Amino acid sequence: MALELSKEVLPNVAADGQRVGGTTKQLKLLSDNMGLHRMNQTDQEIMEQLETLLLERIRDGDNLALFQLGQLYYEQEDFPNAQKFFERAETTGDLQASFQLGVILYDGLGCEPDQAKGFEYMMKVATASAKASEPLIRAAQYNIGRAYYMGYGAKQSNEMAEKFWLLAADDGNPRASIKAQTALGLFYTQEEQTDLKKSFFWHSEACGNGSLESQGAMGVMYLTGLCGKQDDEAAFICLREAAERGNVFAMGHMVAYYYKRKLFTKAVDLAVRSV
């Protein structure tokens, strides 16, 4: 899910810390926000105007402009300059800047990867208590859980991964990290901590909040009875809807479902779509 940041002018941070595209749209958003008129200008011309304006605001002591300029460079994939201004913004207590620094350093965007330092920045956000930044904090908590689970940037710990994913999932709150809710659904099917009741609960929460992955997983749980009892009708609904939304995993199960019932034309059509 795209993360809605409290001060963000260029929305780009996904819950898993990855960048999403749409630079032209984001330039327009920032230029409109700052009262600039495009007048058939190219993206490069707008970029230069924004850069000049933000540098002026920084000289006037506008701390928010530090983050905005860093974000502008980030969207242009000028990561060294983005890092420089995020570092300056981070010293003013800007949690968005801390989050972005965590992403840059953890993934090695324009620099040598430093997962330990990236983890440190992300943990700073994950343990913050700013109510206005709650969606950002939940996204950071998901990332910290993933780092613990994978053992990158921190010592591998299923216990700590579960702890931070539970924080990020926030009892199924739709404004929390839906990715964390799905992660918990998958986590509780692992051999070391199998709890299918918890798995189904978290997939249900995530599915209700729009998770495509959890919708497919629920379909399989209904189909196999892993949710407590087998329910072919519920399985069909979940898998069909997930397949229609592009879930290849669900498509595969629907192909098998149609084939088993000798609905060969539907099976072939769906199989072709999934390739």
Using one digit for the tens of pLDDT, what is the confidence trace for 181-231? 999 999 999 988 899 999 999 999 999 999 999 999 999 999 889 888 889
Spatial separation of the C-alpha atoms in residues 188 and 171, rounded to whole Å? 15
**What radius of gyration, in Å, describes the C-alpha atoms of the chain?**
22
pLDDT level of residue 261 (50, 70, 90 thresholds): confident
Stated pTM of the model: 0.81
- Most confident by average pLDDT, 8-12, 43-47, 270-274: 43-47
Contacts of 159 (CB under 8 A, 6+ apart): none
Cα distances (Å, whole numbers) of residue 137 to 90, 170, 254: 15, 11, 37
Q: Quote the pLDDT of residue 51.
A: 92
Dihedral through CA 154, CA 156, CA 160, CA 161, nearest 10? 100
Which tens digit of pLDDT belongs to each residue from 93-108?
Answer: 999 999 999 999 999 9
Q: Which residue has the tokens 């629920």?
A: 218
